[in-house]
Structure 1
Amino acid sequence: MSSQKQEIELLLPPEVAYDELARYRALLDAAGLVPGQADFVHLRKRSIDARGRQPLVRLRADIYQTPPPTDLFGPWFQYPDVSRARRSVLIVGAGPAGLFAALRAIELGIKPIVVERGKDVRTRRRDLAALNKEHLVNPDSNYCFGEGGAGTYSDGKLYTRSTKRGDIQRILRILVQHGATPDILVDAHPHIGTNKLPYVVAALRESVRQAGGEVLFDTRVDDLILENNRLRGVVTATGQALEADAVILATGHSARDIYELLHRRGVLIEAKPFALGVRVEHPQALIDQAQYRRQDRGVLPAASYSLVHQTQWKNRQRGVFSFCMCPGGFIVPAATSPGEVVVNGMSPSRRDSRFANSGIVAAVELEDMDVRQHGPLAGLKFQQEIEQRACRLAGGTQLAPAQRLGDFLKSRVSPELLETSYQPGLVSVPMDQVLGPALAERLRQGFQNFGRKIPGYATNLAQIVGVESRTSSPVRIPRDRDTLQHPEVQGLFPCGEGAGYAGGIVSAAMDGERCAEAAFAAIGAK
């Protein structure tokens, strides 16, 4: 017998929407039913509508009066044993692109060999502790490098606009299968949280290993095995040669040594636009009041925001926008080499910190870089120069340069700074000296506009912390649109954020799957 289903959409007060029993009764009432008349309520989507005087929660749900279909939540993924597969793919990088490429390769009957320069998530924590407390930067194990990549210790945002690049729900179901909360299948802006992501990442790795794939940590790639314009494998830092039928390069946006290696070995790469700026930190209560228009947000999650403004400076128009907003979060040190200061944001799953932070960044176009001198590495050098200046001006450790936002807007030194979530600590520095005149002026215009949109935003109740520079890769590794192979080097499949084809966990995961499928099309599984 087919399931009798009603589709319901309604707006509810937060206290009802986030209470399971109250929500159930409200949905049944909207369907004209009473308890006992519905076997199952499937919540399909949940989003917050804060446009009115009081915030409401919009729900979409299916109500079944007969047993629902058995495949309601989609398939539970099974991975065959590929330990003896005749074809293999070498995957450089164990971030979301690399791990999802490995799982998709297994589904297609190819054995993946994943090499990761950093450590597994558990061991990686020691290096993060040393970075936060002792200001020690391990170039191979930090917030950017290690199992799960930069996304492991982040907010774990899963929202993406890349709806045409793959099956978003498939990626989310795989994450749920590996321990993520099922809420990510429902929420309009899902996230996992930095406290839960390490367990999900470790589960993904174990699925690869249990299916016969290999995952090798502390394995940095130092050279390429190139023969007749074909990439046959890589050479690790220990001198070990690893060969495979194809190589998926999924190293993330901060693997500068890989870009330099490709350039040195004559593999075509290109400079690309990116964005650079600061982290701005507010009291979370200020953002809650501005967005929800009430002091006590009750059961509502910590409020977030998304801002954008077009700026004009010396006849050049550039966008300034919020990036990776972390409600109830922390600012963390994201440097990958000694002598540089980089900041990023993360949030635990409950988003219960007293602070809200977001990247506020300005677009950096090719004409803003010194392409004539540095060629395809121009953006990388631009990025590196500002990170090193930030470190030097703040004292040469992981102390970060900072300025109260109202003082920055008035070009005056902050005599004292606010309390911060950034564990290594802050130093009062005029941020114009760190950013240079062009970026500083663009950020001023952006903040002035944002202050008109959010009451209290552009005041000394907030402070800016520098620098937010790893928004995306400043280098693109080109690939054919159809085959996803490098246009000049056969067997090389540039992948994910590091190659310039993704911008977050989900888009990187989808790109990893696409590259695995492209490798399968090129080499087959027999």
Structure 2
Amino acid sequence: MQKDIEIILLPHQVEQSSIILKKIAETLNVNPERIKSHVILKRSIDARSRKVVFRLLVRVYIDEDFIAETSATHYPNIGSAKSVIIVGAGPAGLFAALQCIENGVKPIIIERGKDVKQRRRDLAAINKQGVINTESNYCYGEGGAGTYSDGKLYTRSNKRGDINKVLQIFVDHGASADILIDARPHIGTNKLPHIITAIRETILNAGGEIHFDTRLTDLIIEGGQVKGVEVNNQREIFAKSVILATGHSARDIYHLLNQKNILIEAKPFALGVRIEHPQSVIDSAQYHCDIRSEFLPPAYYSLVQQVNDRGVFSFCMCPGGIIAPCATDLNEIVVNGWSPSKRNNPYANSGTVVQVTLEDVPGYDPLRMLNFQAQIEQAAFEAGGGNLVAPAQRMVDFVENRLSLDLPKNSYLPGTKSVMLDNILPDFVSNSLKGALPQFGKKLKGYYTNEAILVGVESRTSSPVRIPRDKDTLQHPQVEGLFPCAEGAGYAGGIVSAAIDGINCANALINF
């Protein structure tokens, strides 16, 4: 007999199997000897009351043995099968490739950036010297932006596809099995490169191809049908299907589509800053303590506030994290955040952003939101003074319109410069943030403090362009065989939802 039950444990009890067994027996009112096994299905922290507890959903096996299911996916050799070109080796592209292999189709991945090992040198140059390689950086390269920006796997995309399949594939390639049960699963930037490398090996071992330092420079289209792609302005690769999984920062792709009169649309996005606190401030507020227990992970938060009918919200919160320079072009500042697997850095950071609507940037140009985004990033670069130094301000100083006389120590390695962020951000963004931050302080004790730093700008929350597609075939309405995919096309946000969309596109092209 099997039963699913919830048990509640104190933090120090979570790893003690004897206590878990006792709790199960008490909850079910059965003799512990009848419990042959148990499996934890979900695990979450409940910090709503002053006593912080863990809630575990457990499947209990009473008077019967647990037989583990084998879940590893079989990837057949598809070296001689028909081919599909996948543009981009981020989560969408990699998971599309794996699904293509399952479906008996050969994926040919082209990626403008380098493999994860080679990317590290370019990231070191960004952080230490303020030097951007426009083809290999935090956004471009094997694994995409997610590889070196945390690896958070939390998603609400339950209706889009099989979340558990995505998580299991990560586990099969080296991720901790904890991601299958944690309410907010997370891999960590330090571990993701090894997992991405293992996924690459699976694709290659099955007969797929991956080409690094290979940038899409043209789409070969005849009679409204994709025939292939041109790469690096010289070589052509032919296939009847192309999955366009380039991510939300590949601006040249949007310009290419626009120049070829392939329909694209301006899309709302969000703009703001990355806010960093001492992690101890967030721990104290969320766990109602002076010092966080060693049995509790660094605390996270999620905040939202309406200010004059405009949404302001936290985004991509990184406990124990680091603020990273994520620009993809010269003379721009873009910030993001990441955490190692242990989340053991002394700071907590989160994007805090404001909705930007189409009405805020009037006009008919499908690239107008992208151009607006780029203008803000260039203004941030100029304010910082070069070398990727980021403009910044203390939180209360920002709200009260004061230039910060100094800035708190922070995690942004290229350095920060005290400026008036009002001179960079549009008025509607600044005013919305100023209205929201004190309100966030009422929701989260200690949040509204001058010990917090605002670092600008957080501008790549989502794509400012949508590439339309048919809701049934997932193909572009004008170009047969072109499958716009995931974040860069405006249909996903985050690693898991991008991976799911890649899988969906791979399945859709079977019928083509």
> Where on the TM-score scale, by shorter chain, does this alignment land: which range?
over 0.9
**The residue matched to 1:376 in structure 2 has which SS?**
coil
Shift of 1:19: 3.6
1:398-409 equivalent positions in 2, closer than 5 A: 398-409=388-399
After superposition, the C-alpha distances for 1:252-288 in whole angstroms (9 at most, x for unaligned) are 0100000001101111000000001000000100001
User: Which residue of the partner structure matches residue 356 of structure 1?
Assistant: 348
User: Which residue of the partner structure matches residue 300 of structure 1?
Assistant: 296
Cα distance in 2 between the residues matched to 1:457 and 1:388: 29
Q: Say what the alpha-carbon RMSD is for the aligned residues.
A: 1.2
**The residue matched to 1:152 in structure 2 has which SS?**
helix
Q: Give the letter aligned to residue 404 of structure 1.
A: R
User: Which residue of the partner structure matches residue 5 of structure 2?
Assistant: 8
* 1:146 pairs with one of 137, 141, 150: 141
Say whether residues 1:478 and 2:473 are aligned partners: no
Shift of 1:467: 0.3
User: Which residue of the partner structure matches residue 326 of structure 1?
Assistant: 318
Cα distance in 1 between the residues matched to 2:37 and 2:272: 48
User: Which residue of the partner structure matches residue 338 of structure 2?
Assistant: 346
Shift of 1:502: 0.2
User: Which residue of the partner structure matches residue 27 of structure 2?
Assistant: 30
1:266-305 equivalent positions in 2, closer than 5 A: 266-298=261-293, 299-305=295-301
Please report the TM-score for the alignment, with normalisation by the length of structure 2. 0.98
Cα distance in 1 between the residues matched to 2:360 and 2:145: 26
Cα distance in 2 between the residues matched to 1:94 and 1:28: 48
2:116 and 2:143 in contact (8 A); partners too: yes
User: Which residue of the partner structure matches residue 40 of structure 2?
Assistant: 43
Cα distance in 1 between the residues matched to 2:245 and 2:52: 41
1:170-189 equivalent positions in 2, closer than 5 A: 170-189=165-184
**The residue matched to 2:138 in structure 1 has which SS?**
coil
After superposition, the C-alpha distances for 1:211-270 in whole angstroms (9 at most, x for unaligned) are 100011110111111111112111111511011120000000100000001101111000
Please report the TM-score for the alignment, with normalisation by the length of structure 1. 0.95
User: Which residue of the partner structure matches residue 121 of structure 2?
Assistant: 126
Say whether residues 1:104 and 2:104 are aligned partners: no
After superposition, the C-alpha distances for 1:477-516 in whole angstroms (9 at most, x for unaligned) are 0000000000011110000100000001110000000000
Cα distance in 2 between the residues matched to 1:33 and 1:419: 55
1:47-62 equivalent positions in 2, closer than 5 A: 47-62=44-59
Worse overlay, 360-369 or 154-163? 154-163
Structure 1: state its 5+ residue gaps: none
User: Which residue of the partner structure matches residue 360 of structure 2?
Assistant: 368
After superposition, the C-alpha distances for 1:31-55 in whole angstroms (9 at most, x for unaligned) are 4456654332200110111111111
2:314 and 2:352 in contact (8 A); partners too: yes
Q: Give the letter aligned to residue 67 of structure 1.
A: D
Cα distance in 2 between the residues matched to 1:449 and 1:233: 52
1:233-248 equivalent positions in 2, closer than 5 A: 233-248=228-243
2:7 and 2:23 in contact (8 A); partners too: no
User: Which residue of the partner structure matches residue 225 of structure 1?
Assistant: 220
Q: Give the letter aligned to residue 309 of structure 1.
A: Q
After superposition, the C-alpha distances for 1:52-84 in whole angstroms (9 at most, x for unaligned) are 11111111111224222342xx62111000001
User: Which residue of the partner structure matches residue 390 of structure 1?
Assistant: 380
Structure 2 vs 1, CA of residues 464 and 19 (structure 1 numbering), >3 Å: closer, same or farther?
farther
User: Which residue of the partner structure matches residue 92 of structure 1?
Assistant: 87
Shift of 1:311: 1.3
**The residue matched to 2:35 in structure 1 has which SS?**
coil
Cα distance in 2 between the residues matched to 1:161 and 1:272: 21
Say whether residues 1:67 and 2:65 are aligned partners: yes
Q: Give the letter aligned to residue 75 of structure 1.
A: S
User: Which residue of the partner structure matches residue 479 of structure 2?
Assistant: 489
After superposition, the C-alpha distances for 1:7-34 in whole angstroms (9 at most, x for unaligned) are 2212111111244443344334434456
**The residue matched to 1:226 in structure 2 has which SS?**
strand
User: Which residue of the partner structure matches residue 447 of structure 1?
Assistant: 437
Structure 2 vs 1, CA of residues 430 and 225 (structure 1 numbering), >3 Å: closer, same or farther?
same
Say whether residues 1:216 and 2:216 are aligned partners: no
Worse overlay, 92-101 or 53-62? 53-62
Cα distance in 1 between the residues matched to 2:22 and 2:206: 44
**The residue matched to 1:39 in structure 2 has which SS?**
strand
Cα distance in 2 between the residues matched to 1:199 and 1:514: 25
User: Which residue of the partner structure matches residue 191 of structure 1?
Assistant: 186
2:226 and 2:239 in contact (8 A); partners too: no
User: Which residue of the partner structure matches residue 111 of structure 2?
Assistant: 116
Worse overlay, 197-206 or 30-39? 30-39
Cα distance in 2 between the residues matched to 1:513 and 1:263: 26
**The residue matched to 1:202 in structure 2 has which SS?**
helix
Shift of 1:116: 0.4
Cα distance in 2 between the residues matched to 1:18 and 1:397: 46
User: Which residue of the partner structure matches residue 78 of structure 2?
Assistant: 82
2:220 and 2:228 in contact (8 A); partners too: yes
User: Which residue of the partner structure matches residue 130 of structure 2?
Assistant: 135
Q: Give the letter aligned to residue 437 of structure 1.
A: D
Cα distance in 2 between the residues matched to 1:237 and 1:20: 57
Cα distance in 2 between the residues matched to 1:489 and 1:451: 50
Structure 2 vs 1, CA of residues 354 and 212 (structure 1 numbering), >3 Å: closer, same or farther?
same
Cα distance in 2 between the residues matched to 1:103 and 1:385: 38
Q: Give the letter aligned to residue 293 of structure 1.
A: H
Cα distance in 2 between the residues matched to 1:439 and 1:70: 52
Corresponding pairs, count: 510
Cα distance in 2 between the residues matched to 1:318 and 1:216: 43
**The residue matched to 1:498 in structure 2 has which SS?**
helix
